[in-house]
Structure 1
Amino acid sequence: MDRPRHSKLHRCGQLIWNLCIVFVVYGIIFEVIVVSRTGSFNPFSKPVASSNAPTIPEGSLSGGVNYRLRPTTLVKNINDAYAGPRRHVDTLANYGKLLEACRGSATGLEKMRFVYDCLEYLSKKEDDYLFLPSDSPASKSDPSYPAVDTAAPASQTNIGQCPGPVQLFHTYWTGPSTWRVELFIKAYLYTQNLPCSRLWIWLDSDTNPTAVADMMQDKGFARFLPLVERGDITLKAWNFPTRIPLPKGTVASDPLYSQILANRALKSAGSTEEKKIEDLGDGVIIHPDGSEWIEFSERQMTFLPVAVSDAVRFIVLHLNGGVYLDMDIMLLRDMRPLLLTPDHNFAERWAVHSHPGDFNTAVLSLNANSSLSSYLVRGGVRMGLNFHPMIVGRMAWKDGRVEELAMFETGLFDPIWGEFNWGREGRCTVPCFKDYGQAFLGTREAVREEWQSFDGPQLEEEEAKAGVTELKKRDAAPASAAEKIVKGEDGSYGGREYRLEEDKYPPTNRTLENFFRGAWSYHIHNQWAKHPQPNSWFSVAQNAHDGFLSGERTNLYGEKWGGPEIMSYDRWREFD
Structure 2
Amino acid sequence: MFLPQRSNGHAGGPRYNDLPTHSSAVREKWHRHHHNSSWFIPISLPIPGVRTRRLRLMALNPSRLHQFSVTRFGRRIGPLLLCMGLLAAFFTVFALHKRFATQEKTWPTLSASDPSTLVYRRDDIQRIWEWEVAAGHYPSSRKIPTQLGFTTPPPNPALPARKAATIPSRFRSPIVSNTVGTGAKRVYPDIQAQPPNVAYPPRPPPGSVADLDVVMDHCDFSTNQYVRDCLEVLRIGGGLDNGAHHRRGKMEDWKYIYTEDGVAENVTDTEGMLKPAFALKTEGDMDPNIGFTKKRGVEWEPHLHLAPPPKYRPYKDLQPGPCDEEHPRLFHMFWAGPFTDKPYLALLSFLYTQNVQLHVDPEEVDPNLCRPQFWLWINPGPAASVPNPSAVRDMYEALKTNPWSAPFLHPRFKDVIQFKLWNTTEQLDGTPELAEEWRAMSDSLFNSGGFVEKVPQKQQPLAAETEEAEIEESTEVEEGEDGENATAAAAQGPTGSNKSDEDDKVNRVGSKSASSYDRLSVILSDLARFVLCHRYGGIYLDADTIFLRDWEELWGWKGAFAYRWSRLEKYNTAVLRLNKGSALGTFLFRTALKNGLDFHPMTVSRYTKDAYLENLLLRLPDALFDSAWLNTEYYQRDRPPQPYFNEFGDFFNTPKENSAAPHALGFNGFFKGAYSYHFHNFWWQPFDPQRNWPDLGPRFIAAERAARASVEATSTEPADHGEDWIAEDKRDLDWSSVMKRTFESYIRGEIPNLYGEWLKW
User: What's the TM-score bracket when you normalise by the shorter of the two chains?
Assistant: 0.5 to 0.7
Q: 1:347: which partner in 2?
A: 562
Q: 1:397: which partner in 2?
A: 609
CA distance in structure 1 between the partners assigned to 2:581 and 2:602 by the alignment: 22
User: C-alpha offsets along residues 494-517 of structure 1, whole Å, 9 cap, x if unaligned?
Assistant: xxxxxxxxxxxxx84131111000
What does residue range 550-565 of structure 1 map to in structure 2 within 5 Å?
550-563=748-761
CA distance in structure 1 between the partners assigned to 2:217 and 2:317 by the alignment: 30
Distance 1:181 1:398, change over 3 A: same
Distance 1:297 1:186, change over 3 A: closer
Q: 1:31: which partner in 2?
A: none
Find out whether 1:135 has 2:247 as its counterpart: no
Distance 1:163 1:325, change over 3 A: closer
Distance 1:379 1:562, change over 3 A: farther
Please state how far the C-alpha of 1:375 moved relative to its aligned partner. 1.2
- State the secondary structure of the residue aligned to 1:337: helix
Q: 1:235: which partner in 2?
A: 419
1:81 touches 1:558 (CA, 8 Å); kept in 2?
no
568, 577, 580: which one aligns with 1:368? 580
User: C-alpha offsets along residues 35-94 of structure 1, whole Å, 9 cap, x if unaligned?
Assistant: xxxxxxxxxxxxxxxxxxxxxxxxxxxxxxxxxxxxxxxxxxxxx986512112111100
2:328 touches 2:538 (CA, 8 Å); kept in 1?
no
CA distance in structure 2 between the partners assigned to 1:162 and 1:530 by the alignment: 39
Q: 1:320: which partner in 2?
A: 536
Q: 1:50: which partner in 2?
A: none
CA distance in structure 1 between the partners assigned to 2:587 and 2:377 by the alignment: 23
Please state how far the C-alpha of 1:294 moved relative to its aligned partner. 4.3
Find out whether 1:296 has 2:494 as its counterpart: no
200-209 or 372-381, larger mean C-alpha shift: 200-209
Which AA in structure 2 matches 1:182? Y
Question: TM (normalized to structure 2)?
Answer: 0.44
Which AA in structure 2 matches 1:216? L
1:325 touches 1:364 (CA, 8 Å); kept in 2?
yes
CA distance in structure 1 between the partners assigned to 2:261 and 2:428 by the alignment: 44
Q: 1:99: which partner in 2?
A: 216
Q: 2:33: which partner in 1?
A: none
Which AA in structure 1 matches 2:562? A
Q: 1:199: which partner in 2?
A: 374
Q: 1:529: which partner in 2?
A: 684
Please state how far the C-alpha of 1:334 moved relative to its aligned partner. 0.9
Which AA in structure 1 matches 2:437? F
What does residue range 41-56 of structure 1 map to in structure 2 within 5 Å?
none
What does residue range 17-416 of structure 1 map to in structure 2 within 5 Å?
84-103=201-220, 109-112=222-225, 114-126=226-238, 128-135=255-262, 138-145=314-321, 166-194=328-356, 196-205=371-380, 207=385, 208-209=387-388, 210=391, 212-220=395-403, 221-226=405-410, 230-240=414-424, 241-246=427-432, 294-305=435-446, 306=520, 307-343=523-559, 345-353=560-568, 355=569, 358-416=570-628
CA distance in structure 2 between the partners assigned to 1:188 and 1:447 by the alignment: 31
For CA contacts below 8 A with separation 6 or more, give which structure has more relative contact order: 1
Distance 1:529 1:227, change over 3 A: farther
CA distance in structure 1 between the partners assigned to 2:579 and 2:734 by the alignment: 38
Distance 1:542 1:300, change over 3 A: same
Which AA in structure 1 matches 2:378? L
Which AA in structure 2 matches 1:133? E
Q: What is the count of residue pairs matched by the alignment?
A: 359
Question: TM (normalized to structure 1)?
Answer: 0.58
Which AA in structure 1 matches 2:219? C
Which AA in structure 1 matches 2:561? F
CA distance in structure 2 between the partners assigned to 1:380 and 1:411 by the alignment: 28
Distance 1:400 1:244, change over 3 A: farther
1:172 touches 1:327 (CA, 8 Å); kept in 2?
yes
User: C-alpha offsets along residues 177-206 of structure 1, whole Å, 9 cap, x if unaligned?
Assistant: 101111111001101111511111111146
Q: 1:24: which partner in 2?
A: none
1:115 touches 1:411 (CA, 8 Å); kept in 2?
yes
Distance 1:227 1:530, change over 3 A: farther
1:438 touches 1:447 (CA, 8 Å); kept in 2?
no
Distance 1:144 1:350, change over 3 A: same
1:192 touches 1:335 (CA, 8 Å); kept in 2?
yes
CA distance in structure 2 between the partners assigned to 1:447 and 1:183 by the alignment: 26
Which AA in structure 2 matches 1:318? H
Please state how far the C-alpha of 1:133 moved relative to its aligned partner. 1.5
Which AA in structure 2 matches 1:201? L
1:101 touches 1:111 (CA, 8 Å); kept in 2?
no
- State the secondary structure of the residue aligned to 2:202: coil
Which AA in structure 1 matches 2:343? V
CA distance in structure 1 between the partners assigned to 2:624 and 2:406 by the alignment: 32
Rg (Cα) greater in structure: 2
User: C-alpha offsets along residues 125-145 of structure 1, whole Å, 9 cap, x if unaligned?
Assistant: 236011122137744333321
Find out whether 1:547 has 2:709 as its counterpart: no
Give the share of equivalent positions with the same residue, in percent.
30
What does residue range 478-497 of structure 1 map to in structure 2 within 5 Å?
none
- State the secondary structure of the residue aligned to 1:509: helix
1:81 touches 1:555 (CA, 8 Å); kept in 2?
no
- State the secondary structure of the residue aligned to 2:615: helix
2:327 touches 2:538 (CA, 8 Å); kept in 1?
no
CA distance in structure 1 between the partners assigned to 2:617 and 2:551 by the alignment: 17
- State the secondary structure of the residue aligned to 2:558: coil
CA RMSD of aligned residues (A): 2.8
190-199 or 128-137, larger mean C-alpha shift: 128-137
Distance 1:99 1:332, change over 3 A: same
- State the secondary structure of the residue aligned to 2:229: helix
| Structure 2: gaps of 5 or more residues | 1-196, 239-253, 264-312, 358-370, 447-519, 690-729
2:539 touches 2:575 (CA, 8 Å); kept in 1?
yes
Q: 1:32: which partner in 2?
A: none
Q: 1:518: which partner in 2?
A: 673
CA distance in structure 1 between the partners assigned to 2:616 and 2:325 by the alignment: 29
CA distance in structure 2 between the partners assigned to 1:295 and 1:163 by the alignment: 27
1:348 touches 1:407 (CA, 8 Å); kept in 2?
yes
1:145 touches 1:164 (CA, 8 Å); kept in 2?
no
| Structure 1: gaps of 5 or more residues | 1-79, 147-160, 247-283, 285-292, 452-506, 564-576
